[in-house]
Amino acid sequence: MPFISTPIPGLILFEPRIFYDERGYFYESYNQRTWQEADMNAVFVQDNQARSTRGVLRGLHYQVGEMAQAKLVRVLEGEVLDVAVDLRPSSPAYGQWYGVRLSAENKRQLFVPRGFAHGYVVLSDTAEFFYKCDNFYSKAHEGGIRYDDPTLKIDWGFDLAQVIVAEKDLALPPFGEHLPV
């Protein structure tokens, strides 16, 4: 199962091997042994799933302290632009973002390590988004950054005047005023 490095250390794209035949397809979406052999040692404890319509933008979210989370994200239906921002102060990529299209068609997955803010915008009519977390959600430890932060200059591939954003996400602070990870 191929793991593809991104320009940001620790942020890994995963392209599963897919077996097609006249009945459809089969692939292994996750195998703990394969991940461990690749030195990807996250142990996932929680699965989350969200369904959204075109233009919904969720993010940029993260958790801090002992409740920080690594995530393995993928799309079961539709297509999204998935974005991760490096918030690790000691990282050479601190403050950099990476975006990738994840879809039901390409079956790609993105591993987002602890210390990253994460979000996505739905590009298709609807999207079913699924992710594994290596730590449990804790409201007391959640943080976030505005999706339209002028310092980050994220290209969401979508007209931001058209996005649908939760009130909670509109109230998030800009980059530089976020909680330390």
Question: Are the CB atoms for 93 and 10 separated by under 8 Å?
Answer: no
Active site residue 131: yes
Helices (H), the chain: 32-37, 167-170
Q: Where are the beta strands (DSSP E) in 3-95?
A: 3-5, 12-14, 18-21, 24-27, 46-53, 57-63, 71-77, 79-86
Q: Is the peptide bond before 102 cis (omega within 30 degrees of 0)?
A: no
* DSSP secondary structure code for residue 164 in this structure: B
pLDDT per residue as tens digits for the range 15-63? 999 999 999 999 999 999 988 888 888 999 999 999 999 999 999 999 9
The three-state secondary structure class of 69 is: coil
In this predicted structure, the answer to whether residue 1 has a pLDDT above a threshold of 80 is: no
Residue of 44, 50, 54 lying closest to 76 (CA atoms): 50
Q: Which domains does the chain possess? A: 42-170 (2.60.120.10)
* Locus of tokens 């199962």: 1
pLDDT per residue as tens digits for the range 59-82? 999 999 999 999 999 999 999 999
Name the active-site residue from 61, 62, 120, 178: 61
* DSSP secondary structure code for residue 93 in this structure: T
Which residue type sits at 176?
G
pLDDT per residue as tens digits for the range 124-181? 999 999 999 999 999 999 999 999 999 999 999 999 999 999 999 999 999 998 878 8
* Locus of tokens 């989350």: 48
Where residue 89 falls among pLDDT bands split at 50, 70, 90? very high
> Helix count (H) and strand count (E) of the chain?
2, 13
Active site residue 25: no
Name the active-site residue from 118, 131, 147, 178: 131
